[in-house]
Structure 1
Amino acid sequence: MKKLVLISAITSLALVQNSFANTALEEVMVTTATKTEKSIEGVSASVIVISEEEIQKTGASTLDKILEKIPSINAQYGRFPHPSASSKAAISLRGMGANGTLILIDGKRLSGETESPYEMTRITASMIERIEIVKGSMSTLYGSDAIGGVINIITKKIDKNISTLDLKYGSNGDGDAVNKNINFTNRGSVDKFRYKINTSIDDTTPYKVNKSYTQQAINPSSGADLNANTLDNISGNYDVTYKDEATIKTIGTRLEYDFSDNFTAGLDLSYFTEDREGQYLGNAAATSGGLITNTPVNSEDKNRRIDISSDFKYLINDDLSMNTKIYRSYYKKRNYTDPLTFTGATNTKFSANVTIDTLESDLTYILNDSNIITTGLEYRKETRDSGAINPDASSSEFITKVVNYKSLFIQDEIEISDTLNAIIGTRYDNISNADNKITLQAGLVKKIAEDTSIRANYAQGYRTPDIAELYVVSMYYKGAKRYGSEVINTIKTESYDLKPEQSQTFELSLSNKYENLSSVFTIFNNKVKDKIDLVSYNDSNSATKYYTSENIDQVDIKGAEVSFDYDLNKDIDLGLNATYLKTEDESTKKELTYTPDISASFNINYKITNDLNTNLMLRYIGEQYTNSTNTEQTNDYTLVDLGAQYQVNKNVEYYVGIDNIFNKEVDEEIGTNVGTYYFTGLRITF
Structure 2
Amino acid sequence: MKKIILISAITSLILFQDSFANTILEDVIVTTATKTEKNIQGVSASVIVVTQKDIERIAASTLKDVFEKIPSINAQFGRFPHPSSASKASISIRGAGANGTLILIDGKRLSGETEGPYELNRIPASMIERIEIVKGSMSTLYGSDAIGGVINIITKKIETNSSTIDIKYGQGEEGKAKEKNINFTTRGVTNEFRYKLFGSIIDTTSYSKNKSYSQVATNPSTGAILVGNSQNGVNGSSKVTYIDEGTVNNIGGRVEKDLNDTLTLGLDVNYLDENRKGTYLGNAKFSGGGLIQNTPVNSEDNNKRIDISSDLKYEISNNLSGQTKVYRSYYKKRNETTPINFTGPVNKKFSANVTIDTLESNLTYLLNDSNIITTGLEYRKETRDSSAINIDPSSSEFVTKVVKYKSLFIQDEMAITDSLNATMGTRYDNISNADNKVTFQAGLVQKLTDKTNLRVNYAQGYRAPDIAELYVVSPSYKDGKRFGSDVIFGPKTKAYDLKPEQSQTFEIALSNKLENLFSEIVLFNTKIDDKIELASYGTGNAKYYTSENLEKVDIKGLELNIAYNITENSDLNFNLTYLNTEDKTTKKELLFTPDLSASLGLSYQIIPNLITNLSIRYIGEQYANSQNTTKADDYSLIDIGINYDINNTLAIYGGIDNIFDKQLEENIGVNVGTFFYTGVRIKF
What's the TM-score bracket when you normalise by the shorter of the two chains? over 0.9
Cα contact 2:165–2:185 (8 A) shared by 1: yes
What is the match of residue 645 of structure 2?
Answer: 647
CA distance in 1 between partners of 2:347 and 2:631 (Å): 33
> What is the TM-score of this pair, normalised by structure 2?
0.96
Q: How does 1:207-606 map to 2 (within 5 A)?
A: 207-539=207-539, 542-606=540-604
Q: CA deviation at 1:369?
A: 1.0
> Could you give the per-residue CA deviations for residues 42-80 of structure 1, whole angstroms, max 9, x where no partner exists?
110000000000001111111011001000000000000
What is the match of residue 28 of structure 1?
Answer: 28
CA distance in 2 between partners of 1:615 and 1:543 (Å): 51
- Of the three residues 664, 667, 678, the one matched with 1:666 is 664
CA distance in 1 between partners of 2:528 and 2:272 (Å): 37
CA distance in 1 between partners of 2:48 and 2:587 (Å): 32
What is the match of residue 135 of structure 2?
Answer: 135
Q: CA deviation at 1:26?
A: 4.5
CA distance in 2 between partners of 1:366 and 1:406 (Å): 26
Cα contact 2:266–2:312 (8 A) shared by 1: yes
Cα contact 1:212–1:237 (8 A) shared by 2: yes
What SS does structure 2 have at the residue aligned with 1:543? helix
What SS does structure 1 have at the residue aligned with 2:145? helix
CA distance in 2 between partners of 1:192 and 1:90 (Å): 42
Q: CA deviation at 1:489?
A: 1.5
Cα contact 1:647–1:653 (8 A) shared by 2: yes
Q: CA deviation at 1:627?
A: 2.5
Aligned partner letter, 2:676: Y
> Could you give the per-residue CA deviations for residues 536-558 of structure 1, whole angstroms, max 9, x where no partner exists?
0015xx10000000000000000
> Could you give the per-residue CA deviations for residues 148-170 of structure 1, whole angstroms, max 9, x where no partner exists?
10000111111110111010000
What SS does structure 2 have at the residue aligned with 1:417? coil
Aligned partner letter, 2:317: N
CA distance in 1 between partners of 2:208 and 2:628 (Å): 28
> Could you give the per-residue CA deviations for residues 548-604 of structure 1, whole angstroms, max 9, x where no partner exists?
000000000000000111111111111110000000000111000000000000111
| Number of aligned residues | 663
What SS does structure 1 have at the residue aligned with 2:53? helix
CA distance in 2 between partners of 1:490 and 1:564 (Å): 54
| Worse-superposed segment, 430-439 or 627-636 | 627-636
Cα contact 1:584–1:592 (8 A) shared by 2: yes
> What is the TM-score of this pair, normalised by structure 1?
0.96
CA distance in 1 between partners of 2:281 and 2:553 (Å): 33
Q: CA deviation at 1:514?
A: 2.4
> Could you give the per-residue CA deviations for residues 279-299 of structure 1, whole angstroms, max 9, x where no partner exists?
000000010111001110000
What SS does structure 2 have at the residue aligned with 1:145? coil
Q: CA deviation at 1:632?
A: 3.0
Q: CA deviation at 1:394?
A: 1.4
Aligned partner letter, 2:591: T
What SS does structure 1 have at the residue aligned with 2:567? coil
What SS does structure 1 have at the residue aligned with 2:57? helix
CA distance in 2 between partners of 1:220 and 1:496 (Å): 22
Aligned partner letter, 2:608: N
Structure 1: gaps of 5 or more residues: 1-21
What is the match of residue 125 of structure 2?
Answer: 125
CA distance in 2 between partners of 1:280 and 1:290 (Å): 19
Cα contact 1:591–1:628 (8 A) shared by 2: no
Q: CA RMSD in A?
A: 1.0
What is the match of residue 198 of structure 1?
Answer: 198
What is the match of residue 11 of structure 1?
Answer: none
Aligned partner letter, 2:227: N
CA distance in 2 between partners of 1:367 and 1:175 (Å): 62
CA distance in 2 between partners of 1:669 and 1:630 (Å): 13
What is the match of residue 632 of structure 2?
Answer: 634
> Could you give the per-residue CA deviations for residues 392-443 of structure 1, whole angstroms, max 9, x where no partner exists?
1111110000000000000000000000000000000000000111000000
Cα contact 1:423–1:443 (8 A) shared by 2: yes
What is the match of residue 53 of structure 2?
Answer: 53
| Worse-superposed segment, 57-66 or 410-419 | 57-66
CA distance in 2 between partners of 1:392 and 1:173 (Å): 45
Aligned partner letter, 2:362: D
Identity of aligned residues (%): 66
Cα contact 1:595–1:624 (8 A) shared by 2: yes
CA distance in 1 between partners of 2:576 and 2:386 (Å): 41
What SS does structure 2 have at the residue aligned with 1:116? coil
Aligned partner letter, 1:600: A
CA distance in 1 between partners of 2:422 and 2:627 (Å): 42
Cα contact 2:407–2:427 (8 A) shared by 1: yes
Q: CA deviation at 1:629?
A: 3.2
CA distance in 2 between partners of 1:636 and 1:385 (Å): 41
CA distance in 2 between partners of 1:106 and 1:26 (Å): 23
Q: CA deviation at 1:478?
A: 0.9
Cα contact 1:293–1:479 (8 A) shared by 2: no
What is the match of residue 4 of structure 2?
Answer: none
What is the match of residue 656 of structure 1?
Answer: 654
Q: CA deviation at 1:251?
A: 1.0
CA distance in 2 between partners of 1:152 and 1:318 (Å): 28
> Could you give the per-residue CA deviations for residues 351-405 of structure 1, whole angstroms, max 9, x where no partner exists?
0000000000000001111000000000000000000000111111100000000
What is the match of residue 69 of structure 1?
Answer: 69
CA distance in 2 between partners of 1:59 and 1:148 (Å): 27
What is the match of residue 98 of structure 1?
Answer: 98
Aligned partner letter, 2:188: G
Cα contact 2:24–2:515 (8 A) shared by 1: no
CA distance in 2 between partners of 1:513 and 1:185 (Å): 35
